Structure formats: structure tokens, C-alpha cells
Amino acid sequence: MCSMIYREIGKNREKVSAVGFGTGYHRPSDRGCSTLERSINSALDHGVNFIDTAPVYGDGLSETVLGGILKDLNRPKIFLASKVSPEDTTYSGVLKSVEDSLTRLQTDYLDLCQIHWPSTTVPLEDTTRALEKLVVDGKVRNIGVSNFMLSEIKDTINALEDNPLASIQTEYNFFERSIEKKLLPFCTKRDILLISYSPLSQGNMVNGERQRNLLDEIAQKYNATPGQIVLRWLINHSNVVVIPNTSKPHRAIENANAANISLLPEDIELLSHEMKTSIELVDTKDIRVSNDYSRKVYQTVEEAIENKMNMSPTPLELAEEMKKGNFLKPIRLKELEHKKENKSYDLVEGRLRYWAWVIANGWDKPIPSLTWKTGRQND
């Protein structure tokens, strides 16, 4: 039996499970043949009430498929979050985007609506004004942001007139811990919920054999899986919730049961100290951009500038931000087999940032990167 941990969010202090259910990497075909429904039901049966989605997830199908599942469930017991994409952040665009999400999700309201990425062209006040109208109309209960830098978060707080900023969604895991310096303390002090996406680093939870052996050792000590230890370490932070993705019912149960583990203080400290990866500067010409890690990727800088895939923010917009000294976070690389004097890497995450960096700085300036030396999949 799972004893779930719950956080409180927003001015109404609604309960949110510390382990949620993410749909960011699902590409379901339809409700009938997808295992998504069984996975969600398994998670709900084990104390999870937080489900996160977005209009762009699942190649644009996530909300529709999820709506077909949710209509048969007890909606008031579910904390449902979705997002507004950067291209929809005008006042009218926000209103339409949320209405469309509600239709696809077959619900009357979102418990949380987050701005998916900051817009470089639309005044933030236009976006927050629309979101606050949706709160008044009862169609949105809490307002949050995703992938915002700390300065942009502060601007959002100042732009909101009648509602607090309830949440910040960002990557946080053993591999990406840069938020611990400023963002996490800021959220803790302000009582803002921090939602960790990709908490298991897409299966590559640790970096190198030494870290892997340590994680295995601690997992064995608690009769748990390595993934459960990672999740439990993350939610040991009082205002952090995690939204791991899975399409497997047994994995959804395993994730939820991470809340049952009580890590000893010395193990929390050991993990905090040992599970770190240093930022490296990598030559952009040594990085291979491939489709192995994403179905949407530009292969050349010319394609990135043209932006036929309509990615938002665009590579050009991000490049302008980088020229101002703003860089969201390091890209993610996987080291390939190489001779000592000839290193090469696969680009795993951060394709927009990679091309924006090349556009802003040319090919000769190394790019800040986090590199997997070795990895093991969490299947």
C-alpha cells in the first residue's frame, strides 16, 4: 500500500501528489490500443493525483487521448495541469489555447495552467492578464511557468495582479542540478511548487561507473530500484514534486511507491555530494545532431534559421537572447566511442539551444554542456 506524500499549491492550498504522472514523451495512437490508460489508473490507485500534459505532447495527441481517459474517472480527485505554448501567449491566443485544451481534455477547468516557454515577442502582461481572466472565469485554478529563467520568473510574479505564481516547472535530476544555486532556494522561500520534469534523466540517471555503483548500493540497502531512490531524493526537498514519464503500468506503480521510502540523513547527504556532473565546454563541431533522441530536429544551421518546423521560441529568438548573455542551461551530450585525441558526442537534449548557440556565436566558440560518460537505461 502506497503512502503518498502530498504538497500544497497556490492560494487555495490544493493537494498535489509529490510523485505525479508526466505525459511529455508519450506518443499514443489512440485510447483503445494505448497502455497509457492502464498506466494512469495504476498511478491513481497508488496515491498519484497529479497529471501533467501540454498541447504539443504526444505529437499533439496527448490531450485528446488523455481526455478520453479522464472522462471516465473522478475528475475532482485529479489535479490536472496543461500549458500554453509561446506562439499562443497573446491575450486572445491564451484564451483560445486554454479553451481548445479544455475541449480536448473533456473537462471544464485546469487545476494548473503554465506558460510553456517565455515568449520573446509578446508582452508578459498580456499573457498574465489572460490567465487571470481564466481564473476569474473558473477555467484555470492556478498559474505557473515552465522553462523560465529566474529573472523571467520574477517578472511574472510582478505581472500577476490578483494571483500568486503557483509553480515553476523545470528539469531537475542527478544530472541537471544547476537550479540548486538560486532557483530552488527562491521557490522554497516564496512557497512556489517546483515541478521536476525528466527526473530520471530519460533513463540515464547517473554519470559514470562510480555513481552507478553507489546508486545500486543504496537501492539494495532499501530494497528499492535505482529509479525509486532518485525520485525519493528529489522529493525530499519540501517543495519539489516529480513527474516521471512511463507507458508501463508496473513502472507507474514503482514510481508512486518511491514515496514510501524513508532515506536516512546520511544517505541523502551522500547522494547530494556524489551525484554531480560538471559543466564542460565542448567544441560545437564535435557534436553530432541526429534523430536518435528526437523526432523533431534540424540537421543544419540553415534549417534552424528557416525554422520550417515552427519551433517556438525559434532558434533565431534564442540566439538573440544568448547575445544578451542569457543562456537557459547546458545542452545534454552523450560521449561516443573515440580515440583520446578525437572526441565526439551525440546531442541528446537541447537541440534548439545548440543551433541558437551556433547562430549567435559561430562554430568556433565551445558550448556549455553536460556529458554522459556512460549510461544505463531504466526500462
Catalytic positions, written as ranges: 57
The C-alpha atoms of residue 111 and residue 143 are separated, in whole angstroms, by 9
- As a whole number of Å, the CA-based R_g of the chain is 20
Dig out the grid coordinates for 80 from the structure. Answer: 490536472
Do you know the residue count of the chain?
A: 379
Helices (H) and strands (E) in the chain, counts: 13, 15
Among residues 91, 76, 155, 88, which one has the least CA distance to residue 117? 88
Among residues 207, 217, 144, 140, which one has the least CA distance to residue 372? 207
The C-alpha atoms of residue 142 and residue 83 are separated, in whole angstroms, by 11
Query: What is the identity of the amino acid at 359?
Result: I
Vertex 194 angle, CA 190 and 196, to 5°: 165
279 and 366 Cβ atoms separated by less than 8 Å:
no
